[in-house]
Amino acid sequence: MKELDLKAVPVNERSPDRIINAWKELAEGDTLKLINDHDPKPLHYLFQVEFKDTFVWEYKKQGPDEWIVEIKKIKPPPILSPEQKKKRDELKQILKKLHEAGPEELSGVKKEAQKYFKEVEPKELAMAEQELIQEGTTRTEMKRLCDVHLEVMKGQLGSHAKKLKLPASHPLTICKDEHKIIKRNLRRLKALLAKLKAAGSFDQAKRQLDVLKELSHFFLETEKHHQREEKAIFPRLKAHGVIEPPLIFEEDHVEFMAKKKVLSESALAENKGSYQEFLSKIGPVIEFLTTNLTDHIYKEDNILYPMAYETLDKSEWKEVRKKFDAIGYCCFAPADLKKAKVSRKSGIPPNIKQWAGKRQKAKIKGKKLKV
């Protein structure tokens, strides 16, 4: 990684040429780290014009005194045939229509979109979304748009995901199996909220509060799952020119982590205030997680993972798996770690308490999961 600290350069010597020359010297796959005392937005626009589709712009710090941006050089995407270009433009139109439709036209647009989505491969969808962002749709808008088309696509994209039959030791199988465990615990968390509401007081909710502690611990622990996605799979997708979808998923991870921390702090706090205050704090957090994390997992299983499988070269998956092992696992033993007592067949430890206990005993440290 090449570093350029503009804060150390006198203002009158900070010409864009200095940055562009440094950029031009980079090899494909290399990154330029830019440190500045203000947001280098104009430079971002310049890059969008001059180096379209060959860079990934990622803020690492955004003020107030310092801005750090990493600009990665990537190989340009393959040139689309006129037929492919026409299809992509049609898909973008459908996505825009879904986004812009008023309440009275929405059901018609949804029907039209449903027919269309049956034919669409996950990668095509992701690349269309990426182009919309590159053309000016903000990431926040795109997330909202994703929610609309996710609702329309449910049941439509399943066939692509089912086609993905991979060995148990494949990184994507590991992630999908972990998703099953996470979803199961999201359902438990949702049911728990209803029970907590019904209990009405701390005294009446003793058992539920214990379960809340276990579940909040579980959700903090699953952070390793997100880390493996971010550090092992996403950088490779970005290097293949699939930039925006991973960034959207990364933003989701940050939001989830913040909510999981609130959940854990609320569950562990000795002084929780009044029972109503406690409920009004954890209620929205649990609702957010059970809705948004479930949707996030659906998008990964049905769009992101099939697309990643299609995009990465076969040899790269071995490297991804090595990185997975180096980062470590949270709640699931990969199939080829033979000493694991949690079998691949059942996959899911009987309950979190048992899993957490086993895990503690095993003292998992990064590389191998021995339970």
Binding site for Fe ion (CB under 5 A): 229, 300
Of the pair 67, 305, the CB lying nearest Fe ion is at 305
Of the pair 300, 325, the CB lying nearest Fe ion is at 300
The 10 Å Cβ neighbour count of residue 153 is 23
The Cα–Cα gap between 131 and 128 comes to 5
Sequential DSSP letters for 300-364: IIIIIHHHHHHHS-HHHHHHHHHHHHHH--SS---TT-TT-SS-TTT-S-S-HHHHHHHHHHHT-
Of the pair 47, 256, the CB lying nearest Fe ion is at 256
Output the smallest distance, CB 324 to Fe ion, in A.
12
Alpha-carbon dihedral sign for residues 147, 166, 314, 89: negative
Phi and psi at residue 215, to the nearest 5°: -70, -40
Of the pair 19, 242, the CB lying nearest Fe ion is at 242
Sequential DSSP letters for 150-209: HHHHTTTSHHHHHH----TTSHHHHHHHHHHHHHHHHHHHHHHHHHHHHH-STTTTHHHH
Of the pair 36, 290, the CB lying nearest Fe ion is at 290
Output the smallest distance, CB 299 to Fe ion, in A.
9
Output the smallest distance, CB 297 to Fe ion, in A.
6
The Cα–Cα gap between 367 and 327 comes to 7
Of the pair 221, 300, the CB lying nearest Fe ion is at 300
Output the smallest distance, CB 207 to Fe ion, in A.
30
Which of 342, 347, 356, 346 lies closest to 211, judged by CA?
A: 356
Output the smallest distance, CB 176 to Fe ion, in A.
8
Exposure string (b/e) for 20-56, b if CB count within 10 Å is 16 or more? beebeebeeeebbebbbeeebeebeeebeeebeebbb
Cis ω before 64 (30° cut-off from 0):
yes
Of the pair 131, 300, the CB lying nearest Fe ion is at 300
Output the smallest distance, CB 238 to Fe ion, in A.
15
| 3-state SS class at 222 | coil
